[in-house]
A and B are shown apart, each in its own frame.
Chain A
Amino acid sequence: MSALRRFLRNGTAVIGLLAFLAILAFALLAPVIYPGNPLAIAGAPLRPPGSPNLIAGSDMLGRNVAAGLAYGARVSLVIGLLSALLAIVIGAVLGAVAGYFGRWVDDAIMRFTEFFQIIPSFILLMVLIALMRPSVTATICGIALISWPQVARIVRAEFLVLRRAEFVEAARVQGFTTTHIITREIAPNALSPVIVIGSILVANAILTESALSFLGLGDPNLISWGYMIAASRSAMRLAWWTTVMPGLCIALTVLALNLVGDGLNDAFNRRLGEGGRA
């Protein structure tokens, strides 16, 4: 049975995938549903959900919360996807090099990786953001910089095993270059755990971004869910919707991504990579 088939047979995974697709559609259609700037003041502040034209109410500045949620989805997803991608690139390269070459190269890279796993990563992230000035780019780079070690460990473990595989030996005998062997022979076979961890990384990045925004270290020019919570948390008791709605959006997205991740994991029939010690 192919991995895809197995995935589609998994009820919770399919639910997760559908939920994620729905959020994706919500994000993509944001300019169609809510044309105009989501940060613009749309009417009276703190209107409850269900008010005319305000299905999710308005916030303290009179901005449309639903529009914020839609545009916030774009920002949260972009940050989540790009930082996960960047983390995978960094982690995969380092992990592949460490795993393929082994010995001192492996040792050096693993010590470096360990450093990032030992230092409290969220505090490190705050320092990195302060260093770069808060912006979307800073957030993406910062999150990638603290999350690549997971990828590196997994990729390294795969490479450690695969470099001794028969087809790799065969390629070596045929005289292919090291680069060719790493990228063409081993990498495709080490892909499935990376895909699994990828979905988890996206989810974690969305959570991390929201935490940064909560502490006032996000980009103030773009609306993201974390930003919405931070901006209206003091109104939480007067206007629960301003804080609860974006929080629910984050929870839903992260949940969906995790369900997908679990489904992929089961489909590829592997133990969740992050749990195992490489």
Chain B
Amino acid sequence: MSTRATFLARRVVQAAMVVVGVVFLSFFLVRLAPGDAAMAIAGETGYSDPQYVADLRREFGLDKPVLTQFGIYLSKVAVGDLGFSYQKRQPVYDLIMERLPATLLLAGVVIVVSLIIGIFVGAVSAKYAGRFVDGVLRIFLMAFYAMPSYWLGLVLVLMFSVHLGWLPAFGIETMGGDPAPMARALDIGRHLVLPALTLGLFFAAIYARLTRAAMLEVVNLDFVRTARAKGISETRLFIRHVLRNALIPVVTYAGLQTSALVGGTVLVETVFSWPGIGRLAYDALIARDNNLLIGIFIFTSVLVVIFNLVTDLLYVVLDPRMELGK
């Protein structure tokens, strides 16, 4: 038990260090990019004068030396204040919290859906390894992995929204829809289908592949041979021993994929006008909304770190015999 505790404690400290690194690096990285929020706003309004640009810089604190800006920022972040968004003129924390549920919902559904599809297909593939079913399944799912997600999104919209008219093409809910909770949940569910499929099929392909590979490896291990020799039924053996052990790399990888998932939402949220963090990040970047962008970096990094810690925990649960060092 104590080894587990030390292991997790060490992970927490390491994770905290990485988050601090994120704060430092993102702050300076974002400021290295040419142009600033004042220029972007002054240009976009189509009419500007020196006072306008200067006013904006003063408002945003961009008129101070970079190191001073960094000092101010650090002192704020230290007490949990992520500052104000230049573009949206609201606290960054509020903006992120407004958008977070949409992204979490999408990401959560994507993780669940892709794991279910991926593990199922992977298991079937492994069971029939080398046979026709295996080949077809692998290539079918891998094709989804190979498609650019935004492109798949566009094609799905064209098919299911424009042609067949089955599903809504964009947004998270119908405006002025039925406010009753059940009806609303259903409505959101319908809006969720296409974006979740777009991203979910991509990750499902990865998980299927991992599950298959891991299961094939486990099948050849000694304990499985022993179990088989003991006369345990094939199905039971397959599920209890093979699948369970094969899940370890899959779960690990799913944990490591959280940051990729957040990145993936940028595109999918753009294609489906999903009101989430990913799109917010893109908008913040092009407008040099530094505080917002850094805030999103910090926030998502913390999320990923937490997710990885949970993965580590799962790791321990799934495989009690594993060595807890490196």
Contact = CB atoms under 8 A, between A and B. Distances in A.
A66 B20 CA distance: 49
Interface in A118-152: 118-123, 125-128, 130-131, 133
Contacts of B300: 119-120, 123
Interface in A81-109: none
| Majority DSSP secondary structure for residues of B touching A | helix
A211 B267 contact: yes
Nearest to A120: B262
Nearest to A130: B33
B245 interface: no
Nearest to B145: A258
A237 B259 contact: no
B146 A258 contact: yes
Contact of A277 (B21, B252, B263): B252
B209 A226 contact: no
Interface string B267-281: 100100000001001
A114 B18 CA distance: 7
Contact of B148 (A117, A121, A211): A211
Contacts, number: 162
B267 A115 contact: no
Interface string A59-71: 0000000000000
Interface string B1-42: 000000000000011011101100110011011100000000
B301 A111 contact: no
B296 interface: yes
Residue of A250, A252, A272 contacting most chain B CB atoms (<10 Å): A272
A259 B142 contact: yes
Residue of B30, B214, B263, B282 contacting most chain A CB atoms (<10 Å): B263
A184 to B, nearest CB: 27
Contact of B259 (A118, A128, A275): A118
Interface string B125-167: 0000000000100110011011111111011001000100000
A251 B214 contact: no
A118 B270 CA distance: 22
A220 interface: no
| Majority DSSP secondary structure for residues of A touching B | helix
B263 to A, nearest CB: 3
A123 B305 contact: no
Interface of A: 11-12, 111, 114-115, 117-123, 125-128, 130-131, 133, 203, 207, 210-211, 214-215, 226, 229, 233, 236-237, 240, 243-244, 247, 250-255, 258-259, 262, 265, 271-272, 274-277
B26 A119 contact: yes
A118 B143 contact: no
B93 interface: no
Interface in B269-323: 270, 278, 281-282, 285-286, 293, 296-297, 300-301, 304-305, 308
A272 B209 contact: yes
A133 B33 CA distance: 9
A251 B147 contact: yes
B30 to A, nearest CB: 6
A67 B138 CA distance: 32
21 contacts: A111-B17, A114-B14, A117-B256, A118-B15, A118-B304, A119-B25, A119-B26, A119-B297, A120-B259, A120-B300, A120-B304, A123-B278, A123-B282, A125-B263, A130-B34, A214-B150, A229-B150, A237-B162, A247-B152, A251-B143, A259-B139
Nearest to A15: B139
B158 A119 contact: no
A131 B267 contact: no
B281 A215 contact: no
Given A122-B264, A258-B142, A127 B150 contact: no
